[in-house]
Structure 1
Amino acid sequence: MYSNAYFFVWLFSSALVFAGVNRYLKHRLTYLVSFSVLTLFGWVHIFRDQFIIPVAVFACFYGVAWMKEKHWLKTWQAVSLTLLPLLLVKLHLNNHWGMIGLSFMTFRAIDVLLYRKKEDAHAFIYYFCYLFMPFVILAGPMYRWNSWLKDIKQTSFVMTCDLFLQAMQQIFYGIVQKFLFAMLIDREIISHWQHQPFSWTQGVVLSVAYSFYLYFDFAGYSNMAMGAGRLFGLNIPANFNLPILAKNPQDFWRRFHISLSEWLRDVIFMPVYMHLLRLNYFRLNKTLAQNIGIFCTLFCMGAWNGLERHYVVSGVLFGLMSVTHNMLLWTAKKRPAFGCWLQLPPVSFAGRVLTLAGAAVSLYIFSGMSPL
């Protein structure tokens, strides 16, 4: 979508029309009406070749949410049913449900099930726009339900010159990241090295190159989505914060794909961790409960793309890196001398290097280009 010049013409034209009509009506144009029209046009354009599948998916998601509000389904049952189409597609058991943006649409539907308040239970239009908003339908960032409601329920939105220029700057920044840096890395390095016989040199080059490619490609997309949302008064969350500066695995996931990392923390880590603490054994071994929750969360970070071997292995590596770091922190608390040793500049620098090297190897495996 963001690789099509026509999309930007449509985007800026829509933003100017929205701002102009709203100003003409003295800012009486509601967000709900405006964004409903925008989402409907976006939906028609994106799914112009396959209307039935998105309608069926939306009906399924909305029906499950409605039954949960009626207390006909428990939360875990509703979440399981919402995940079912995505699982069937990822397991290649039913590819007919496959559609653009199914993964993040499923996650947003689950966010509604977990965090929607009772007074918003029957907001059909809000739900439709949230699932099918054109800016983030393909690959995130993970825009939470409560943040969406806060933005969309604003009484008025005034497009100022400064706000427009800020949005343009962020979109331009994303264009440079995605269509200059990422494209150059892909054409000049990855496409050249990936067809050569495997060697350690090839593995190192592709690990580093793919990590930078993925960062620039995804960060560029995220910046364009954030800038596009800002044109319409939406505060789509930041998704990257210079992961190359990460001090450790925990810090890396605070900087890389931030919105999904935080969402998985709330949806997977906290429920798993709190459930384990109900058991006497884990109340006496909280670090073990943390490690299980961390591993499950980071495993899902890699494996939610599918259960092919490279996704599973990368998820395992993500989890092992973070569990190892958590054990080092636990040991440092038990042994102050070891904690002081970890704070030494050479050791701290080595930790940064190992973090980035481990992330690069994991992402290389995730790409499917490695022999694993």
Structure 2
Amino acid sequence: MIPYGTFTFFGILFVLLIPAVIIGFLGKRLTNYTSFLTFVFLLIIFSSSKIQTFYLVGYIFWVVILIKGYGIYRKKANHSFVYYSSVFLSILPLIIVKVSPLFESTTILGFLGISYLTFKTTQVIIELRDQSIKEIKTADFLRFLLFFPTISSGPIDRFRRFQQDSQKVLTASEYREYFQIGVHKIFIGFLYKYIIGYLINTHILETQFALGHTFVSNLTYMYAYSLYLFFDFAGYSAFAIGVSYLVGIKTPENFNMPFISRNIKDFWNRWHMSLSFWFRDYIYMRIVFLLTKKKIIKNRRNISYIGYTTLFLVMGAWHGLQINYLLYGLYQAILMCSFDWFEQFNKKKKLWKNNKLTHVLAIIITFHFICFGFLIFSGHLVN
């Protein structure tokens, strides 16, 4: 059963959340009941596929051994080898999932949510290495890794922030605020995903797709798909965040009005924020730091461009190895590097003034670049 995908799922969810709400209004700790809910929903989500259940259980054993092993051996003399090996092994299952369709008719090792579990595991290894996490108990790691509201598609939380929330005992008045936010988010999710998103998909996307590749149909499809992608995914994120609040966890926001972005950098600070911030912190910043430290390249701007290009190509490949995803990653890298160059150029030449008119123009221009990127992403142009 896909999370938030059927009304049956919501019916089960709301019934099982009643005790959580009661516990919250009584000002009691929610951690144990949330762990119970995670176990129940794992059974519900994976009950229809024995092979996915097998892969999930195997993956859990894999990453627990990896985290515990790294925690033991990271203090050894050859720390770098242990660290990079651990990072590689943490993403190896995901690599197999992405690459296997090129050679097999079915995906090997794949199960719902493997990408987001991989992000969490890799993040923990990196933060253990940085010593921002001193140590991690297996129970705490599994509670963070398998947190049921976000297991399939995020948002991607950070361990320290999640751990702080899970250990906090909310007062009745504090939980009342969480409850109000959670219910509001869930209603927003229904509005976005099952009303606006559904209407766009049914009455525009399916119609335009049937018309083929005329200029007008492609243009209409581009706008409609961009809006559909936002409302569908933002709706899902609202469900995940809302349910998280109902069990006392402030899962981070994923969207912040991305279509009013003034430039491509602003857009990636507003769109799928938990993912873009993860890629920024654990790929872009690491590449920039490494190249700067090793003095492989002296020009800081070129280092930044290498970081952006790597980041977006990896992001494209993460979505899949199909040509549309790889082209989308390359397109975003070109946009980011081009804007960075223009931003530096404009600081000297002052060609683009900051006023109300240019602000509106910047939003309109950025919106169209974003929408064209989503058209590439959709595969409509290459399929």
TM-score after normalising by structure 2: 0.89
Map 1:176-195 → 2, pairs under 5 A? 176-195=191-210
Residue 77 of structure 2: aligned partner: none
Query: Cα deviation per residue 1:277-301 (whole Å; 9 max; x = unaligned)?
Result: 1244633x11111111122222223
**Alignment counterpart, residue 85 of structure 1, candidates 85, 93, 96:** 93
Bigger shift: residues 182-191 or 88-97: 88-97
Distance in 1 of aligned mates of 2:223 and 2:133: 49
Q: For 2:269, what is the secondary structure of its paired residue?
A: helix
The one-letter code matched in structure 2 to 1:363 is F
Query: Cα deviation per residue 1:130-170 (whole Å; 9 max; x = unaligned)?
Result: 22211111111111111111111113453744432331111
Distance in 1 of aligned mates of 2:61 and 2:324: 33
Residue 55 of structure 2: aligned partner: 53
Query: Cα deviation per residue 1:158-210 (whole Å; 9 max; x = unaligned)?
Result: 37444323311110011100000101000001111113221222221111111
Map 1:86-235 → 2, pairs under 5 A? 86-92=94-100, 95-116=107-128, 121-156=135-170, 158=172, 160-235=175-250
Shift of 1:129: 2.0
Map 1:1-372 → 2, pairs under 5 A? 1-21=3-23, 27=28, 30-48=29-47, 49-50=49-50, 51-71=53-73, 74-92=82-100, 95-116=107-128, 121-156=135-170, 158=172, 160-280=175-295, 282-283=297-298, 285-333=299-347, 335=348, 338-343=349-354, 347-371=358-382
Distance in 2 of aligned mates of 1:329 and 1:21: 52
Q: How many residues align?
A: 365
The one-letter code matched in structure 2 to 1:271 is R
CA RMSD, aligned part only?
A: 2.2
Query: Cα deviation per residue 1:12-54 (whole Å; 9 max; x = unaligned)?
Result: 3333212435667x72xx4442222111111111111322111
Q: 1:330 to 1:15 in 2, by over 3 A?
A: same
Shift of 1:253: 0.6
Distance in 1 of aligned mates of 2:249 and 2:134: 19
Q: 1:369 to 1:13 in 2, by over 3 A?
A: same
Q: For 2:92, what is the secondary structure of its paired residue?
A: helix
Q: 1:167 to 1:155 in 2, by over 3 A?
A: closer
| Greater relative contact order (CA < 8 Å, ≥ 6 in sequence) | 2
Q: 1:125 to 1:345 in 2, by over 3 A?
A: same
Retained in 2: the 8 A contact 1:342–1:348? no
Retained in 2: the 8 A contact 1:249–1:321? yes
The one-letter code matched in structure 1 to 2:63 is F
Distance in 1 of aligned mates of 2:133 and 2:304: 34
Shift of 1:127: 1.6
Query: Cα deviation per residue 1:322-345 (whole Å; 9 max; x = unaligned)?
Result: 110000112123x2xx22434365
Distance in 1 of aligned mates of 2:133 and 2:91: 24
Q: 1:118 to 1:325 in 2, by over 3 A?
A: closer
Shift of 1:302: 2.5
Identity %: 25
Shift of 1:212: 0.2
Retained in 1: the 8 A contact 2:30–2:248? no
Query: Cα deviation per residue 1:103-130 (whole Å; 9 max; x = unaligned)?
Result: 1111111111112458764512222222
Bigger shift: residues 202-211 or 308-317: 202-211
Q: 1:263 to 1:118 in 2, by over 3 A?
A: closer
Shift of 1:67: 1.4
Q: For 2:293, what is the secondary structure of its paired residue?
A: coil
The one-letter code matched in structure 2 to 1:107 is F
